[in-house]
Structure 1
Amino acid sequence: MTSHKTTVQTMKPATAAKKLGVYLEATPAEFQEGVVSRNELNALQADPPEWLSTLRRTGPHPRPVVAAKLGVSIAGLARGGVTDPLTTEEIDALKEENPDWLVRERTTQAEVRKEAVRIKQKHSDRADRTDQTPGARS
């Protein structure tokens, strides 16, 4: 059985907010209380209304967005004691303050990314060697 994406599919507001990258509790009541169709979600992404543009610009932002803006993981946010949504202003203030936990978590995140690249390269090199081995299947 295959799953086809249709225009009649709907999602909960929490799912739609996650896909839009906004904090659900900061969205208008009519968004929070309804359901969102795939067409409505596509329309919101293509031509965001003022409330969505404002939320994306100033927040409050959900944890994944806060983590990305700070260059850390979601777990790193928790280790740093950041458990609530933050506004863009609060994120900028944290960047300016640059507390020890943020420096530490950014360093950790950079190391994780470097390791991921190293592993990807290792797998790629291994695949290249396998492809060049006589008798190897393509």
Structure 2
Amino acid sequence: MKPETAAKKLGVLLEATPEAFRAGPVSRTELQELQDAPPEWLVELRRTGPHPRPVVAARLGVSVAGLRRADMTEPLTTAEIQALLAEKPEWLVRERATHAAVMAENARIKRDRAAQG
């Protein structure tokens, strides 16, 4: 698979990976090995970032669309994410509430469908 795909599956930002990772295709076996026994660069990258948007969104408790609405388009490090969580800017409070409401509604719909079926 392409390095871009492998990076997405690993939850890391491709640009932050070592050149050797970006240089060529990654086999499914190699990907599985990276997941099962991550090398130090992968452990450190997952720990400190920079993180891709889906990871940033998950750590902040918002949607990727919420990040875009807040003009948060750049990758963030773990320290930057923690600073935002500590500061609690207005956009973050609003987007977390919106995300929680959407998730609750989705859960309600799933329960209703399960009860009907």
Q: Which has the larger radius of gyration?
A: 1
Structure 1 stretches of 4+ with a deviation exceeding 3 A read: none
Alignment partners' CA distance in 1, 2:13 and 2:112: 38
Q: Secondary structure at the match of 1:103?
A: helix
Give a deviation string over 1:57-99, Cα, whole Å, max 9, x none.
0000000000000000000001111101000000000101100
TM-score (norm 1): 0.84
Residue 121 of structure 1, CA deviation: 1.1
* Matched length: 117
Give the structure 2 partner of residue 31 of structure 1: 21
TM-score (norm 2): 0.98
| Consecutive unaligned residues in structure 1, runs of 5 or more | 1-10, 128-138
What is the percentage of aligned positions where both structures have the same residue? 65
Q: Secondary structure at the match of 2:62?
A: coil
> Higher RCO, 1 or 2 (CA under 8 Å, sep at least 6)?
2
Alignment of 1:17-56 (within 5 A): 17-56=7-46
Measured on the aligned residues, the alpha-carbon RMSD in Å equals 0.5
